[in-house]
Amino acid sequence: MPKLISSSKVHTIPKVNDFVIKFANVNGSGSASANNMFAKALFRMGIPVSPHNIFPSNIQGLPTWYEVRINEAGYLGRREGVDLMVAMNEQTIKKDIDSVVSGGFILYDSSKALANELHRDDVHYLPIPLKDICLQEFEKPAQRQLFKNIVYVGALSAFLNIDFKVLTEMVSDQFRGKEKLILPNIHALELGHQYASENFDCPLPLQLKTSDKNKSKILIDGNTAIGLGCVYGGATIGAWYPLTPSTSVVESFRKYCNRLRIDPGTGKKKFSIIQAEDELAAIGIAIGAGWNGARAFTASSGPGVSLMQEFLGLAYFSEVPVVLFNIQRVGPSTGMPTRSQQSDLLTCAYASHGDTKHILLFPATPKECFEFAADSFDLADRIQSPIIVMSDLELGMNDQICDTLNWDDKREYDRGKVLNADQLEEIEKFGRYLDSDDDGIPYRTYPGTHPSKGSYFTRGSSHDAYAAYTEDGNTYAEMMDRLTKKMITAISYLPEPEISETKNKLGMIYLGTTTSAIQETIDSLGKKGISLDTMRIRAFPFHDSVADFINSHELVYVIEQNRDAQLKSLLKIECNANESQMHSILSYNGILITATHIEADILASMPELTITESLPA
Amino acid sequence: MSYISKPKFMHPEMSTNDLGLTRRDYEGTLTTLCGGCGHDSISAAIIQAASGMSLEPHRVAKISGIGCSSKIPSYFLSKSHGFNSVHGRMPSVATGANIANKNLHYVGISGDGDSASIGLGQFCHIVRRRINMLYIVANNGTYGLTKGQLSATADLGSTTKSGEESQFDNIDMATLAIELGASFVARSFSGDKEQLIPLLQAGLTHKGFAFIDIVSPCVTFNNTDASAHGYKNTWENYIALSALDFVPMRKEITTSYAAGKEKEITLHDGSVIHLHKTNGNYDPYDKENALHHINQHKKQGKIATGLLYINQSTSDLHELQDTVDKPFNSLNSHDLCPGNEALSDINNTFR
């Protein structure tokens, strides 16, 4: 049988475990589960893989993409350029085909002929009559549509040399309990595999090879990990208002609570989830619960966090523990609801009117999402203030490879400074806002603790050390100064920045999902003879080591995903850092920043420096 | 002023309740409201109600929003924790507090600005969620703390002290509460302690969302003859549909009433409300009739007061959500954390 490779005479440099494949689909066509199956199969083959959903704010009809980078070296940030495009969306096919690198491949549904203007001389075409195959093989209209996706995954298994057994095992896992679905799915995979093997030279020069890189790793998204972290951290109350991309935090919390938080004896629930009428109510519920001694959180994104501002000020000033997960998306206003950004740093650091400052945590991996979520409840109780965990859509909604999650069974929750009835007995006069330990953190009591001692009035209006209303300016100023002192104490409880230093003159500062591009940037610049130290910030207010890092370098690149260099602003305000010592590298198109972008910006900035001096000796 | 402590002297033979506490033990700080303010009568009524039914002060949590009304929690039960939150958002704070510990009494104090305007949404939703609490609106038809603007409960055509006339229909908090599913709805007048105190006691005892709309005249800004919320209008147009007594569970019922003249309502803990009918055969279990009754009186310029509606068969939020008996705020890591073994099983689902 003659085997076509394609009409193209272009040669492709063989690539093993190092390429980008992108799926262009129509939203609502059932492609998501097929694409997830593809990525997870690669993960099970031990290959480092990072999928990114680029999806519309829409339920059905608009374009959606799924981009998968495969990289044996473990560079799992985004990379521009597509090596293989699965072009399944007629609305975007021109742009999708144009985005393929020279020598790349295009898999498309050849049930309909490809328009002339879509032909390129420098790429290979992989025509498969997906629609016709499904029409012939399946009877139900829904199956004919859905299985097109499974057939192309089957074809890819032949093209790329995916272990077919891994795919069939995944189908069995996925449909456990719905056995009727297993056989038709496997049949669809086989149809694709068979068509590709019979009509093309398989595998292509792009190939996958089983590896061993994923031992002790899991593939999980950040929001799922946060929901699980809330269960482990002892949250009993989740109050929320649905908002992309934060919704799956509460979905995950609900799922694991239903599994892990039902009292075995009575069948009753050790959790409460309230879908509030808006984000104001959501955080109000969490604050009411925190005031009354239960661990509570809310999860939201930009528009919701804007609504929460007044309540954040109340919790800061009246010193009530509360946890807020901000899964950042593109602003301002409605912005791009399904794209990612790090653009709420300033609005969260100083949320609400008046002088305020809030504790922010910046996870970079799903594992850190789990850990910071659990830790945030201890921190909120210890510091008696809001803790805002700053994730983003990229981390929250995409599967990522990370180390397995662990829990120390010896760990007890830190409930902070709370006086019980016996302790109150020994105190002559309880002062809710007295700085008894000289660390800025006062003692609190839960309502109902003692018949005659420990009650106080919580208020957002100015109050003295005994929680009584005051308009005395000095008393007010003393309270504000103690809150400043408390925030300084808080730093010692926060995760320290991760610093990698070898006395280079140049440094990089970044946080969150920007981290995915850093190692690749370092290695690539290293090959050009440029070395940089790095600091990944994990919390705000900053540790002293942050200012030290800036001061010990001639120039630091502050790399972040927003327009206005918000992290750099925070460094200027809080570390007294010199503008001339910091150079911004910004990305704010809503898509994850790439190593290529960072490297290009660093190289472009070099003429401003005396490069030779900056190079290591 | 609230930062001046209230004198604690009292008559040595001042009577004590079942807990051995005197009325003084239920008081708060000195009021900062205007002399003659209806809200101070509400504080006094709450003090008498709580003391009379021997409520443990520290087992009560007082939560309010912002405004003159929301200052009231300072002026009663100083042995209770209080939370003066943000404007219009008391319902959400009370909801969270209630979920955190199901074993306290929750008293929410709000005003017409706080609950009928900025917080109307939160009010509606706390009613829907059936939080087990007593929710009081001290309703004066005006924004007192900002000097006398019209509120959303000001009647159409009523005027402020400065002469501004209300051009819009008012929001009736009681009918709204009934329609949204409140299981105890009453209206009263701050000047009528005889009616208000038993209503407060019944509301505190009722299991579920109890709402009392209390007409509470603002002596400074809304006590004109043209105001529907002034003393004159309220006294003249006040229709009490029944006089009532509240007999706490632990008190022996000694009074006897002529048969057919009283309605007896037994609350979940065994306490009893006696309604002495002055208004035909009013049936407080009939929702449609309650709405009709209030609206009919309103048409005639009258204010229907008393226990307007009660339903003792609804579940509160904790029952609906089937939460554990122990309060959430007493659960520790042993109760809540699933441990590392469960986590390693979960890890396996992500491979």
pLDDT at residue A4, rounded to an integer: 47
| Residue located via tokens 């609005």 | A347
Is pLDDT of A308 > 60?
Answer: yes
pLDDT of residue B52: 95
Q: Say which of A236, A239, A406 has its CB closest to residue B340.
A: A406
> pLDDT class for B224, splitting at 50, 70, 90?
confident
Contact A208, A162 (CB under 8 A): yes
Contact status, residue B93 vs residue A284, Cβ threshold 8 Å: yes
Question: B125: which chain A residues are within 8 Å (Cβ-Cβ)?
Answer: 276-277, 281
pLDDT digit string (tens) for A163-179? 999 999 999 998 888 88
Average pLDDT for B54-64: 97
Q: List residues bridging with A262 in a β-sheet.
A: A269
Residue B235: the pLDDT is: 85
The model's confidence at residue A233, banded by pLDDT at 50, 70 and 90, is very high
| Chain A residues close to B325, C-beta within 8 Å | 266, 268
| Residues B271-284: b if buried by 16+ CB within 10 A, e if exposed | bbbbbeeeeeebeb
Q: Cis before residue A245, ω within 30 degrees of 0?
A: yes
Domain end (from A146, A180, A207): A207
Cα atoms in the 13 Å half-sphere on the side-chain side of B243 = 7
**Sole residue written with tokens 């603002």:** B218
First to last CA, chain A: 62
Q: What are phi and psi of B47, to 5 degrees?
A: -60, -50
> What's residue A1's pLDDT?
36
Total tally of structural domains belonging to chain A: 4
Q: Which of B104, B321, B343 sits opposite A407 (nearest CB)?
A: B343
CB contact under 8 A, B92 and A412: no
Q: Is B332 on the interface with A (CB under 8 A)?
A: yes
Digit-coded pLDDT (tens) for B157-181: 888 888 889 999 999 999 999 999 9
Percent of residues, chain A, with pLDDT higher than 90: 93
Provide the mean pLDDT of chain A.
Answer: 95
* End-of-domain residue from the set A370, A403, A436: A403
Whether residues A120 and A241 fall in one domain: no
Sequence-ordered list of residues with C-beta below 8 angstroms from that of A386, at least 6 positions apart, any chain = A312, A315, A316, A321, A322, A323, A324, A351, A358, A359, A380
Q: Which helix (H) or strand (E) holds A586?
A: strand A582-586
Domains of chain B by residue range: 23-326
Q: Is residue A352 part of a domain?
A: yes
Residue B258 has pLDDT above 70, yes or no: no
Q: If you average pLDDT over residues A512-523, what whole number do you get?
A: 98
Chain A: give the shortest CA distance to residue B29, in Å.
10
Q: Which of B73, B86, B100 sits opposite A293 (nearest CB)?
A: B100
Q: How far apart are CA B99 and CA B93, in angstroms?
A: 10
Q: By C-alpha distance, which of A409, A327, A370 is closest to A227?
A: A370
Which residues in chain A are contacts of B94 at CB distance < 8 A?
Answer: 288
User: What ipTM was reported for this prediction?
Assistant: 0.95
Domain assignment of residue A488, yes or no: no
Q: Is the pLDDT of residue A617 over 60?
A: no
Average pLDDT over residues B274-284: 72
Yes or no, beta carbons of B331 and A406 under 8 Å apart: no
Cis peptide before A48 (omega within 30 of 0): no
**Partner A contacted by B344 (CB < 8 A):** yes
Structure tokens, A606: 């070099």
User: What pLDDT, in 10s, does the model give residues A339-367?
Assistant: 999 999 999 999 999 999 999 999 999 99
**In the structure, what pLDDT confidence band is assigned to residue B273 with cuts at 50, 70 and 90?**
confident
Same domain, A82 and A158: yes
User: Chain A within 8 Å of B325 (Cβ-Cβ)?
Assistant: yes
CATH of the domain at A274: 3.40.50.970
**B:175-234 residues touching chain A, CB 8 A cutoff:** none
- Residue A509 CA to residue A499 CA, distance in Å, equals 9
Q: How many A/B residue pairs have CB atoms within 8 Å?
A: 233
- Domain match, A166 and A234 both: no
- For residue A44, which residues of chain B lie inside 8 Å, CB to CB? 351
Neighbouring C-alpha atoms within 13 Å toward the C-beta of B97: 33
Tokens of B92: 């959400």
Inter-residue contact A418 to A443 (CB < 8 Å): yes
| H, E, C per residue of chain B | CCCCCCCCCCCCCCCCCCCCCCHHHHECCCCCCCCCCHHHHHHHHHHHHHHHCCCCHHHEEEEECCCHHHHHHHHECCCCEEEECCCCCHHHHHHHHHHHCCCCEEEEEEEHHHHHHHCHHHHHHHHHCCCCEEEEEEECCEECCCCCEECCCCCCCCECCCCCECCCCCCCHHHHHHHHCCCEEEEEECCCHHHHHHHHHHHHHCCCEEEEEEECCCCCCCCCCCCCCCHHHHHHCEEECEEEEEECCCCCCCCCCCCCCEEEEECCCCCEEEEEECCCCCCCCCHHHHHHHHHHHHHCCCEEEEEEEECCCCCCHHHHHCECCCCHHHCCHHHHCCHHHHHHHHHHCCC
A613 pLDDT band (50/70/90 cuts)? Answer: very low
pLDDT tens per residue, range B209-221: 999 999 999 999 9
- Name residue A602's amino acid: I
Tokens encoding A440:
């800025």
Q: Does residue A355 sit in the same domain as residue A399? A: yes
- Is pLDDT of B242 > 80? no
- The Cα B11–Cα A605 span in angstroms is 83
Out of A184, A207, A230, pick the residue that ends a domain: A207
A269 and B323 in contact by Cβ < 8 A?
Answer: yes
Task: Using an 8 Å CB-CB cutoff, list chain A residues near B351.
Answer: 43-44, 217-219
Please count the other Cβ atoms lying within 10 Å of the Cβ belonging to residue A512.
27
Confirm whether A344 is domain-assigned: yes
Instruction: Kindly state the average pLDDT of the residues A292-307.
Output: 98
Give the whole-number percent of chain A exceeding pLDDT 70: 97
CATH number at residue A540: 3.40.50.920
More confident residue, B4 or B121: B121
- The answer as to whether A574 is a domain residue is yes
Backbone φ/ψ region at B322: left (φ over 0), alpha (ψ -120 to 50), beta: left
Residues ≥6 apart with Cβ < 8 Å to B56? A451, B19
Spell out which residues of chain A touch residue B129, defining contact as CB-CB under 8 Å. Answer: 274
**A26: CATH:** 3.40.920.10
A408, closest residue in chain B (CA to CA): B340
CA distance, residue A442 to nearest chain B CA (Å): 17
Place of tokens 């609106």: B137
Which CATH superfamily is B23-326 part of? Thiamin diphosphate (ThDP)-binding fold, Pyr/PP domains (3.40.50.970)
Same domain for A37 and A157?
yes
A14, pLDDT greater than 90: yes
Structure token digits, residue B254: 């000694």
Q: Do A219 and B98 touch (CB under 8 A)?
A: no
Please check whether residues A275 and A371 belong to one and the same domain. Answer: yes
Give phi and psi for B42, each to the nearest 5.
-65, -45
Does the pLDDT of residue A139 top 80, yes or no?
yes
- pLDDT for A397-412, tens place per residue? 999 999 999 999 999 9
For residues A450 and A526, membership in a common domain is answered with no
> Of chain B residues 84-103, which have a CB less than 8 A from chain A?
84-86, 89, 91-101, 103
Specify the pTM.
0.96
Interface list for B 13-42 with A (CB within 8 A): 29
Average pLDDT over residues B57-85: 96
Assign B12 a pLDDT band (cuts: 50, 70, 90): confident
User: Which residues of chain B have a CB within 8 Å of the CB of A271?
Assistant: 323
User: Is the confidence at residue B8, as pLDDT, over 80?
Assistant: no
Q: Does B122 touch chain A (CB under 8 A)?
A: yes
- Interface check for B78 against chain A (CB to CB < 8 A): the answer is yes
* Burial (CB count <10 Å: 0-12, 13-18, 19+), residue B117: middle
User: Per the domain annotation, does A409 fall within a domain?
Assistant: no
Coil, helix or strand at residue A222: helix
- Among A269, A291, A408, select the one facing B83 at the smallest CB separation: A291
Whether the per-residue pLDDT at A614 is higher than 50: the answer is no
Q: List the single range of A94-98, B255-259, B310-314, B347-351 with lowest mean pLDDT.
A: B255-259
What range defines the domain where residue A75 resides? 15-207
Please give the C-alpha separations between residue A486 and each of A28, A362, A396, in angstroms, as whole numbers: 50, 20, 31
Partners of B159 in beta bridges: B165
